[in-house]
């Protein structure tokens, strides 16, 4: 019999918060007040137990669950569901004192003193054993609890450990992978600088000059986290095989390959902490924060594209760890959280419910502040959103199914980070992915942001910015994608290295050379004061019109079999190809040889979408900084979320008579004004 699959199918849109009753259990009356406030805040879910180990097991093998029993029962009685955590994200003092090997060792060999959190050794068999024991206790006690919705595994797995156990495990992992040192030396190109290894024990330091070693270390650490999660999950699955598991991932985090970790859990969740109003300036418009946040939603959703994901942490007001964290301006609480739902999140959970009284996060935003009141601006924002969520029930079982992918690939990201190259100060891998994503966002297209191992057959258009490292098979799969009618867009710095970070010999873009019909000869690095105009070729097959500007990085390429759509109109490379196109089978592949300005990317993206026959959501262009997204309800009726991320009102032009407002049930006018940071949910009539 196949093992049962735990599916994440929450019975309603989740509106939840991280709750830390262990911090308050010595103070009478707080739990009772909190249970009331949870309901009043229109919340329906609590994440509990994330850092509660020392309160659950105050001494080795001594368990104390009475307080958690009461919390679970209370939450259940108040209509709350629970995301119950395993406590491995922070270890009790007694455990660290008793077993020093569980404490992480830094890069320079120093073992950390006990304290803080997220700093256990990823390999230590003792830590894994202790985690297994406490997880087993938790599973046995609460695995059948009626309030239990899902398991929250640990918290924000992060960092590396360089202890002897981890290094030995790394060497073991390498032995399995390469079998012989000869093969390892070849893959790591270790004849360079006399780095050749003649005994496995010599592999001791993470030498950043050996790029193949760095990649393997990151893969190994990802692997260790994967086996750690598996070990954590095993006792939970044994007791409660149908309760789904998740672990909270982090938006910009790249020490692990999240695409490799995704299969270890049943559903994806992530922590989103955009700093609104803090980063914009002359060069970064306000709405960029909304753009980046959406990109990350699409990235996490695409890790399990057929499952709901969950925005499992976001602040109801400010964070306390940024250099400067302004208050969210009115409207943004609602708009930024509707954004998550519009991209397929199963709901929204806040960090945190009640502000702690002391220690590191006492000034972090919370649904209930130190005054304990239910009439604050933040509390009301939360409450109002919770009421609105009840009207969104028809969306619960629908999922976005984008036809467009912008690839963000951890392996390429790592190899770009590691490379020493002419553009060291302006590599900007992630920002480049977002730049290519922006034109879709701006016109309300649904987009997935997967890695290079994704199933390409799901898509009609794939944009692969700076796909620097090609894993075996990727070029073949991209070729099949194009042959079958897909549109592929690649850029400069694509197809330079293989899975070991060894350059492809015989011309870049390596195994994609034939599909793109180009050969790269040189790479120019432009300082900020120098840009190069881009000029479309007259009557080009793409119908590209309007000039562009290249900045920062220009490849000098030869169009071998490709047609040239646009050329450089400056520097000594005037007239040489900047944009190429090649038809293969039923599809077409484009290459952008330079980093183009945002306007040109808009024009180019619109042209390829026209060619691919993907119509924009609305007939008229959305104003800058406004995005839209549709989701189907249970009857197959499209709902459209319109969200303004500008600090000024914006007018959206709609096709007349087609939409009504979900909240007022009124028909919406053809010119719909969204207030600053405002949002509307429309339903097709
Ligand atoms: C992370 C952690 C939480 C909390 C918040 C604060 O997301 O998972 O425990 O520290 O940050 O923003
Ligand atoms: Zn270790």
Q: Which CATH number do you get for residue 656?
A: 2.60.40.1180
Give the torsion through C-alpha atoms of 357, 362, 364, 368, to 10 deg.
Answer: 10
CATH of the domain at 284: 3.20.20.80
Contacts (Cβ under 8 Å, ≥6 apart) of 611 = 487, 542, 543, 588
Per-residue pLDDT tens digits for 46-100 = 999 999 999 999 999 999 999 999 999 999 999 999 999 999 999 999 999 999 9
Please tell me whether residues 335 and 422 are part of one structural domain. no
| Confidence check: pLDDT of 479 > 70 | yes
Which of 612, 638, 673 is the endpoint of a domain?
612
Whole-number Å distance, alpha carbon 373 to ligand 1 midpoint, is 23
Nearest ligand to residue 319 Cα: 1
Instruction: Please indicate whether residue 317, judged by its CB atom, sits closer than 6 Å to ligand 1.
Output: no
| 458 shares its domain with 331 | no
Question: Who has greater pLDDT, 632 or 466?
Answer: 466
pLDDT class for 283, splitting at 50, 70, 90? low
Q: How far apart are CA 623 and CA 138, in angstroms?
A: 51
> Quick one: 565 and 671 in the same domain?
no
pLDDT at 280: 57
- Average model confidence (pLDDT) for the chain? 96
pLDDT tens digits for range 548-564: 999 999 999 999 999 99
Three-class SS string for 276-307?
A: CCCCCCCCCCCCHHHHHHHHHHHHHHCCCCCC
Atom 4 (ligand 1) nearest CA = 351
Domain count, the chain: 3
- On whether both 635 and 665 belong to a single domain, the answer is yes
Closest CA to 271 of 321, 233, 235, 234: 321
pLDDT band at 676 (very low <50, low <70, confident <90, very high): very high
- 349 and 472 inside one domain: no
Residue located nearest, by CA, to atom 7 of ligand 1: 271
Pocket test for ligand 1, best of 50, 156, 275, 316 (most atoms within 8 A of CB): 156
Instruction: Give 2 Cα–ligand 1 centroid separation in angstroms.
Output: 37
**Among candidate residues 393, 424, 444, the one where a domain is terminated:** 393
Two structure tokens written together for 423 = 């553009």
How does pLDDT run across 204-214, given as a tens digit for each residue? 989 999 999 99
Instruction: Say if 385 falls within a structural domain.
Output: yes
Give me the CATH number covering residue 580.
3.40.50.880
pLDDT of residue 281 exceeding 70: no
- 275: Cβ below 6 Å to ligand 1? no
Task: Give 128 Cα–ligand 1 centroid separation in angstroms.
Answer: 23
| 156 Cβ inside 6 Å of ligand 1 | yes
Claim to verify: residue 448 and residue 335 sit in the same structural domain: no
Mutate to test the pocket of ligand 1, among 86, 361, 365, 367 (most ligand atoms within 8 A of CB): 361
Q: Tell me: the pLDDT tens digits for 527-555? A: 999 999 999 999 999 999 999 999 999 99
Q: What is the pLDDT of residues 243-278, one digit of tens each?
A: 999 999 999 999 999 999 999 999 999 999 999 987
Total-model pTM: 0.98
Highest mean pLDDT among 192-196, 284-288, 633-637: 192-196
pLDDT of 398 higher than 90: no
**CB under 8 Å to 35, separation ≥6 — which residues?**
74, 75, 77, 78, 80
User: Is 563 part of any domain?
Assistant: yes
Whole-number Å distance between alpha carbons of 414 and 176: 22
Residue 399 placed within a domain: no
Instruction: Give me the domain span that covers residue 680.
Output: 626-684
> Is the domain of 288 the same as that of 425?
no
At residue 685, the pLDDT reads 87
- Is residue 278 situated within a structural domain? yes
Contact 548, 603 (CB under 8 A): yes
User: Ligand 1: which residue has its CA nearest to atom 12?
Assistant: 319
- The reply to whether 499 and 548 lie within a common domain is yes
DSSP-based three-state secondary structure for 469: strand
Q: How far does the centroid of ligand 1 lie from the alpha carbon of residue 351, in Å?
A: 7
Write out pLDDT tens, residues 161-174: 999 999 999 999 99
Whether 460 shows a pLDDT value over 60: the answer reads yes
Using the predicted structure, report yes or no on whether residue 188 has a pLDDT greater than 70.
yes
User: Residues of the chain with pLDDT > 70: what percent?
Assistant: 99
The finding on whether 155 has its CB within 6 A of some atom of ligand 1 is yes
Does residue 472 belong to any structural domain of this protein? yes
Among protein residues, the one with the nearest Cα to ligand 1's atom 10 is 361
Q: Are residues 272 and 357 in the same domain?
A: yes
Give domain status of residue 593, yes or no: yes
> Do 547 and 480 sit in the same domain of this protein?
yes
| Residue 426's pLDDT band (cuts 50, 70, 90) | very high
31, part of any domain: yes
Query: Which among 582, 612, 642 is the end of a domain?
Result: 612
Give the model's pLDDT for residue 284. 76
Atom of ligand 1 nearest to the CA of 273: 12
Q: Which of 192, 617, 211 has the alpha carbon at shortest distance from 414?
A: 211
313 CB near ligand 1 (under 6 Å):
yes
pLDDT in tens, 88-100: 999 999 999 999 9
Contacts of 380 (CB under 8 A, 6+ apart): none
111 alpha carbon – ligand 2 mean position (Å): 9
Please give the residue that has the higher pLDDT: either 363 or 4.
363
Asked whether residue 282 carries a pLDDT value surpassing 70, the answer given is: no
How does DSSP classify residue 675?
P
Residues 481 and 522 in one domain: yes
421 and 365 in a common domain: no
């Amino acid at each position: 019999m196949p093992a049962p699959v735990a599916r994440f199918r929450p019975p309603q849109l989740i509106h939840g918060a991280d709750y830390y009753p262990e911090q308050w259990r010595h103070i009478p009356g707080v739990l009772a007040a909190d249970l009331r406030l949870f309901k009043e805040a229109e919340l329906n879910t609590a994440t509990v137990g994330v850092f509660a180990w020392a309160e659950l097991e105050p001494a080795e093998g001594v368990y104390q669950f009475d307080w958690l029993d009461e919390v679970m029962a209370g939450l259940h009685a108040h209509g709350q569901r629970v995301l119950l955590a395993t406590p491995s994200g922070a270890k009790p003092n007694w455990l660290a004192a008793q077993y020093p090997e569980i404490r992480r060792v830094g890069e320079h060999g120093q073992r950390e003193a006990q304290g803080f959190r997220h700093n256990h050794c990823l390999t230590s068999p003792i830590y894994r054993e202790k985690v297994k024991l406490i997880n087993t206790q938790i599973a046995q006690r609460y695995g059948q609890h009626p309030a239990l919705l899902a398991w929250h595994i640990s918290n924000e797995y992060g960092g590396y450990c360089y202890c002897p156990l981890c290094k030995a495990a790394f060497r073991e992992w390498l032995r399995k992978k390469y079998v012989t040192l000869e093969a390892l030396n070849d893959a790591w190109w270790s004849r360079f600088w006399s780095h050749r290894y003649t005994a496995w024990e010599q592999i001791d330091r993470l030498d950043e000059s050996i790029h193949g070693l760095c990649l393997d270390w990151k893969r190994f650490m990802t692997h260790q986290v994967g086996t750690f999660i598996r070990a954590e999950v095993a006792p939970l699955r044994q007791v409660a095989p149908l309760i789904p598991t998740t672990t909270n991932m982090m938006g910009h985090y790249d020490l692990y390959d999240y695409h490799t970790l995704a299969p270890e859990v049943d559903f994806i969740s992530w922590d989103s902490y955009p700093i609104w109003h803090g980063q914009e300036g002359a060069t970064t418009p306000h709405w960029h924060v909304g753009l980046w946040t959406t990109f990350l939603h699409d990235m996490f959703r695409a890790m399990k594209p057929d499952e709901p994901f969950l925005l499992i942490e976001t602040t109801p007001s400010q964070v306390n760890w940024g250099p400067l964290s302004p208050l969210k301006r009115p409207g943004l609480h609602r708009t930024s959280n509707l954004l998550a739902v519009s991209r397929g999140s199963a709901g929204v959970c806040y960090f945190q419910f009640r502000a702690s009284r002391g220690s590191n996060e006492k000034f972090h935003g919370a649904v209930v502040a130190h005054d304990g009141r239910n009439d604050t601006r933040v509390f009301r924002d939360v409450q109002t959103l919770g009421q609105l969520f009840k009207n969104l029930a028809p969306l619960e079982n629908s999922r976005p199914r984008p036809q467009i992918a912008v690839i963000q690939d951890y392996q390429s990201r790592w190899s770009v980070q590691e490379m020493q190259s002419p553009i060291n100060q302006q590599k900007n891998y992630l920002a480049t992915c977002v730049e290519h994503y922006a034109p879709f966002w701006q016109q309300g297209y649904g987009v997935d942001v997967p890695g290079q191992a994704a199933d390409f057959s799901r898509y009609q258009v794939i944009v692969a910015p700076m796909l620097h490292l090609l894993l075996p098979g990727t070029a073949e799969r991209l070729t099949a994608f194009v042959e079958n009618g897909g549109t592929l867009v690649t850029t400069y710095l694509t197809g330079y290295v293989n899975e070991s970070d060894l350059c492809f010999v015989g011309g870049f873009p390596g195994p994609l050379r034939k599909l793109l019909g180009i050969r790269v000869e040189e790479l120019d690095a432009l300082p900020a004061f120098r840009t190069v105009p881009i000029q479309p070729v007259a009557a080009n097959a793409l119908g590209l019109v309007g000039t562009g500007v290249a900045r920062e990085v220009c490849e000098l390429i030869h169009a071998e079999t490709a047609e040239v759509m646009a050329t450089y109109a400056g520097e000594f490379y005037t007239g040489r190809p900047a944009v190429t196109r090649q038809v293969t089978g039923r599809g077409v592949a484009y290459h952008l040889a330079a980093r183009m300005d945002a306007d040109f990317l808009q024009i180019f993206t619109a042209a390829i979408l026209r060619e691919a026959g993907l119509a924009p959501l609305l007939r008229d262009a959305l104003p800058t900084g406004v995005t839209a997204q549709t989701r189907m309800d249970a009857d197959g009726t499209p709902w459209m979320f319109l969200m303004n991320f500008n600090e000024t009102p914006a007018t959206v032009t709609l096709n007349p008579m087609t939409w009504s407002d979900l909240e007022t049930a009124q028909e919406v006018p053809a010119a719909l004004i969204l207030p600053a940071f405002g949002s509307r949910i429309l339903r097709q009539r």
